């Protein structure tokens, strides 16, 4: 007879779902607000109670799992790029489930799987160790990806605001890590003289700090930003525009914006 402790089931799935959402946010380079991530994790934890029900047909279990993941990602990240976020969430979930099964097989941890849900009677030490391991693996993946990034590609950055459009030469530079305090979005620093035809109605001042000194920069949110590499597909990015004085007359952005 399989013994399942309800508190272990709920707490384990709450923890794992939040971890999966945090990993998804890191890999997809989106911000995870704590309360939204917690809401998504609670939904996933409650959905794990279906493990206690009679076994569903495979097609129904898969369909239920899919819609549960959609609801979790919608709660955590919102509607923007929902399918992409769900795809990343699913991928990480499958890899995590496989890793946990491997750990449970080696350590002889009591495991139950039914209706697409998992129960691992795992100790706190194993759980902490697994979390550290997951973040280390993800860090290695990101490092390898960053190392293969071609930062010296030729880019065009198109900025559209209302009826006005401007196109600038782009420069991918890891040194630009400027992020807006209010929205959490990355800032693309552009030469203000090349955006004279764009006059934003709403903007704010953002302080910045570099090794060369500190100052402030005017930032605004355009209607659309498209970054086009010399070889590859153009990509719409979710960022703000910072109006500065660039000696090279280029739009400087972090290469992370070109991921996914």
3-state secondary structure 54-81: CCCCHHHHHHHHHHHHHHHHHHHHCCCC
- Which positions of the chain have pLDDT values less than 70? 1-5, 29, 101, 103-116, 118-124, 141-152, 210-213, 231-232, 246-248, 259-260
Q: How high is the pLDDT of residue 222? A: 93
CA distances (Å), 116 to each of 15, 19, 68, in order?
A: 17, 18, 11
Q: Give the contacts of 95 (CB within 8 A, at least 6 positions apart).
A: none
Q: How high is the pLDDT of residue 1? A: 44
Q: How high is the pLDDT of residue 202? A: 87
Q: Are 152 and 246 in contact (CB under 8 A)?
A: no
Burial (CB < 10 A; 0-12, 13-18, 19+), residue 140, is exposed
Q: Where are the domains of the chain?
A: 6-147, 155-258
Three-class secondary structure of residue 225 per DSSP: strand
pTM as predicted: 0.57
Closest CA to 151 of 250, 242, 218: 250
CA–CA gap between residue 178 and residue 200 (Å, rounded): 20
Topology classification of domain 155-258: Cathepsin D, subunit A; domain 1 (2.40.70)
């Amino acid at each position: 007879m399989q013994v399942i402790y309800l508190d272990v089931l709920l707490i384990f799935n709450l923890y794992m779902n939040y971890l999966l959402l945090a990993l998804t946010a890191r890999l997809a380079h989106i911000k995870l607000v704590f309360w939204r991530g917690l809401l998504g994790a609670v939904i996933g934890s409650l959905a794990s109670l279906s493990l206690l029900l009679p076994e569903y047909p495979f097609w129904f279990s898969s369909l239920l799992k899919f819609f549960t993941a959609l609801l979790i990602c919608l709660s955590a990240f919102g509607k923007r790029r929902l399918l992409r976020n769900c795809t990343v969430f699913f991928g990480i979930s499958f890899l995590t489930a496989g890793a946990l099964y491997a750990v449970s097989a080696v350590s002889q941890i009591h495991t139950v799987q039914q209706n697409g849900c998992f129960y691992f009677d795992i100790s706190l030490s194993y759980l902490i160790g697994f979390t550290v391991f997951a973040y280390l693996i993800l860090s290695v993946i990101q490092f390898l990806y960053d190392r293969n990034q071609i930062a010296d590609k030729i880019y065009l950055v198109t900025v559209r605001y209302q009826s006005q459009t401007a196109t600038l030469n782009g420069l991918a530079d890891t040194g630009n890590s400027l992020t807006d305090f209010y929205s959490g979005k990355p800032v693309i620093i552009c030469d203000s003289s090349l955006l004279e035809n764009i006059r934003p109605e709403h903007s704010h001042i953002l302080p910045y700090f570099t090794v060369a000194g500190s100052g402030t920069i005017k930032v605004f949110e355009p209607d659309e930003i498209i970054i086009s590499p010399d070889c590859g597909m153009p990509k719409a990015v979710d960022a703000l525009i910072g109006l500065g004085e660039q000696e090279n007359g280029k739009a400087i952005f972090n290469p992370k914006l070109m991921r996914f």
